[in-house]
Structure 1
Amino acid sequence: MRAVLVVNPKATTTSERSRDVLVRALRSEVDLSVRYTRRRGHAMVLAREAAEEGVDLVVTLGGDGTVNEVVNGLMTAEPPVRPDAGTRADQLPALATVPGGSTNVFARALGLPREWPEGASMILEGLRLGRHRIIGLGRADDRYFTFCAGFGLDAAVIHRVEQARRRGRVSTPALYLRSTMKQYFLGSDRRHPAITLERPGEPAEGELATVIIQNTAPWTYLGDREINPNPAASFDLGLDVLALRQLRVASTTRTVTQFLTGSPDPRGRQVLRLHDTAEFTLLSNRPQAFQLDGDYLGEREKVRFTSVPAALRVIC
């Protein structure tokens, strides 16, 4: 089996020594080539090249941003035709994700351990046993995502966190909490909801303040605690949506508290939820912060979301 390991050398929870250990372990199972990312977007190029070379497996060592780029590289590749492959997912290389970031939502949603040594061991076992699953993805305009997207408040919070990290701050739950409070009270126009959600054949839902989209559950983690706005979201179904009509202090606090319970079921007059949705479009009368898989991608006034079922094979 031919494989490519795409390494983010800036991954927060790995070192050069640990990478060497992982490379030796993978080489005991596969014919491995190692390629390092050098800039934002480079993992997408490396993954696309690997797929078009006809490799059987792409392994990532990095965080959720590295995974997202690799997935987009795979999904936009034109791999050699495999005569025995019946679906697009079978034509593409399989994906294996060794957790190396600070949160690793995608890997943990697949059931992998949080720490990279245990995650790598589980992937090696999966390779030996031929264990894999087929997952669906989400797509926002022309970009794919694995676990979540955000339009509005949560994306603006991620932007604040990224700015803090560029100033040398460490990504921690406390940093996210502080950034959320600052954005909520100082950075949001909470009194004038600007977002509209449109679905084919359904009435439009207007005056929404912020929208969370999930392709699986959980949405993210606060340390070891799952945060679950849409607990029924699944890689095997369409997209789930939670939108808040207002960002009033009392109703928002109540909804966020519901996210954090052991059996989350957010509801209320200010909450809009959609389950297993194939397609919808978000529009806004002013630019909104936008994120995919925890990476801030700037501001948008319109984004079309679609579910892409049975898109990719993953080793887990």
Structure 2
Amino acid sequence: MRALLVVNPAATTTSARTRDVLIHALASEMKLDAVTTEYRGHGRDLARQAAESGEVDLVVALGGDGTVNEVVNGLLHDGPEPDRLPLLAVVPGGSTNVFARALGLPNDAVEATGAILDALNRKSERTVGLGLASGTKGTADEGVPERWFTFCAGFGFDASVIGRVEQQRELGKRSTHPLYVRQVVRQFLRYPHRRQGTIELRRPGADPVTDLVVSIVANTSPWTYLGNRPIYVSPRASFDTGLDVLGLSRLSTAAVTRYASQLLMSTPERGPHGKHATTVHDMDDFTLNSKVPLPFQMDGDHLGLRTSVTFTGVRRALRVIV
């Protein structure tokens, strides 16, 4: 087997020495080319080149969810071919590693590498569905390129939090869970649309849901992790179904306190709920519109402002070593 290993040298939880050990371990079982990313989007470019060459059987992403997202978008640049889905393995190296953990891989890079090698020997893999987001036709965002996401997207409040976290990281702060919690609190105090939501959810065969402040699109569950605690916003979301949405129409102090408690106590059976919460399960096509431009994120990567995003759930998009 010939493989390409895409390594993010800035991965939060792996050292250069650890990465060398992992590279040697993988190279002992396959013909491996290891390349270190040098700029934002480099992982996408490398994976696209590998897919187009037709000479690489497997692409391995060593990094966090952002690195994985880049690699996936490179592999699926021309879309999935039903009879020849690309093959991916993930070695978690970020602070949260939602996609890898949702697949059942260990959160430790060394243990995950061992699990991947065992899976390769057993020829164990899984086909997963992904989400695809694009600019809505007939809107100012029509020309925005399509982009895949592995576990979640967000339009509105949660994306604004991620934007603030990225600003802090550019100033030299480490990506940690306390950093995210602090930015949630700070953004809550200054978010301009928390009292009157501007987001509308439109889906075929149903009335629109309006005045949402929060709109989180989930492709799997849990949504994220707070340390080792899984957080569920859409407990029924799965790699085997379409996309789920959680929408919140109120972010008052009382509502935030209630929803924060529900998130901390969430389980695989129950997530946030109440009269100001909208949950929709297993959708293939829908659109989120906003009266004003709002922050947008995919897999924890802030992508700027949008006014309308169209989502598609693609049920068989990628093969993953597990």
Answer yes or no: is 1:148 the counterpart of 2:152. Answer: yes
Q: Once the 2 structures are TM-superposed, how far is the Cα of residue 88 of structure 1 from its aligned partner?
A: 2.2
- Out of 253, 260, 277, the residue aligned to residue 256 of structure 1 is 260
Equivalents in 1 of 2:3, 2:69: separation in Å? 18
SS at match of 1:267: coil
Partner of 1:111: 104
Of 186-195 and 236-245, deviating more is: 186-195
Answer yes or no: is 1:312 the counterpart of 2:306. Answer: no
Answer yes or no: is 1:64 the counterpart of 2:65. Answer: yes
Partner of 1:241: 245
Equivalents in 2 of 1:253, 1:304: separation in Å? 31
Q: Once the 2 structures are TM-superposed, how far is the Cα of residue 92 of structure 1 from its aligned partner?
A: 3.7
Equivalents in 2 of 1:262, 1:215: separation in Å? 17
- The one-letter code sitting in structure 1 at the alignment partner of 2:118 is E
CA contact (8 A) 1:52 1:77 kept: no
Equivalents in 2 of 1:195, 1:167: separation in Å? 31
- Out of 266, 269, 273, the residue aligned to residue 272 of structure 2 is 266
Partner of 1:293: 299
Partner of 1:230: 234
- The one-letter code sitting in structure 1 at the alignment partner of 2:33 is S
- The one-letter code sitting in structure 2 at the alignment partner of 1:32 is L
Equivalent residue pairs, number: 308
Of 150-159 and 262-271, deviating more is: 262-271
CA contact (8 A) 1:29 1:128 kept: no
Answer yes or no: is 1:178 the counterpart of 2:170. Answer: no
- The one-letter code sitting in structure 1 at the alignment partner of 2:65 is D
Query: Structure 1 residues 70, 89: closer, same or farther in 2, change over 3 A?
Result: farther
Of 257-266 and 299-308, deviating more is: 257-266
Q: Once the 2 structures are TM-superposed, how far is the Cα of residue 265 of structure 1 from its aligned partner?
A: 3.0
CA contact (8 A) 2:232 2:266 kept: no
Answer yes or no: is 1:4 the counterpart of 2:4. Answer: yes
Q: Where do 5+ consecutive residues of structure 1 fail to align?
A: 79-86
- The one-letter code sitting in structure 1 at the alignment partner of 2:177 is P
Answer yes or no: is 1:219 the counterpart of 2:223. Answer: yes
Equivalents in 1 of 2:196, 2:216: separation in Å? 18
TM-score (norm 2): 0.93
SS at match of 1:217: coil
- The one-letter code sitting in structure 2 at the alignment partner of 1:143 is R
- The C-alpha deviation readout for 1:240-276, integer Å capped at 9, x for no partner, is 1000011112122212211221533321110000011
Answer yes or no: is 1:282 the counterpart of 2:288. Answer: yes
Between the two proteins, what is the percent identity of the paired residues? 55
Partner of 2:138: none
- The one-letter code sitting in structure 1 at the alignment partner of 2:271 is D
Answer yes or no: is 1:121 the counterpart of 2:114. Answer: yes
Aligned-residue CA RMSD (Å): 1.3
Answer yes or no: is 1:135 the counterpart of 2:128. Answer: yes
CA contact (8 A) 2:130 2:148 kept: yes
Q: Once the 2 structures are TM-superposed, how far is the Cα of residue 13 of structure 1 from its aligned partner?
A: 1.3
TM-score (norm 1): 0.95
Of 48-57 and 290-299, deviating more is: 48-57
- The C-alpha deviation readout for 1:253-304, integer Å capped at 9, x for no partner, is 2122112215333211100000111111011111111000000000100000
- The C-alpha deviation readout for 1:11-60, integer Å capped at 9, x for no partner, is 11112221211111111111111112111111101001111122110001
- The one-letter code sitting in structure 2 at the alignment partner of 1:270 is H
Partner of 1:82: none
Equivalents in 2 of 1:266, 1:175: separation in Å? 23
SS at match of 1:88: coil
Of 145-154 and 165-174, deviating more is: 165-174
CA contact (8 A) 1:198 1:204 kept: yes
Q: Once the 2 structures are TM-superposed, how far is the Cα of residue 237 of structure 1 from its aligned partner?
A: 0.4
Equivalents in 2 of 1:76, 1:89: separation in Å? 14
Q: Once the 2 structures are TM-superposed, how far is the Cα of residue 89 of structure 1 from its aligned partner?
A: 5.2
Q: Where do 5+ consecutive residues of structure 2 fail to align?
A: 135-145
Partner of 1:81: none
- The one-letter code sitting in structure 1 at the alignment partner of 2:286 is F
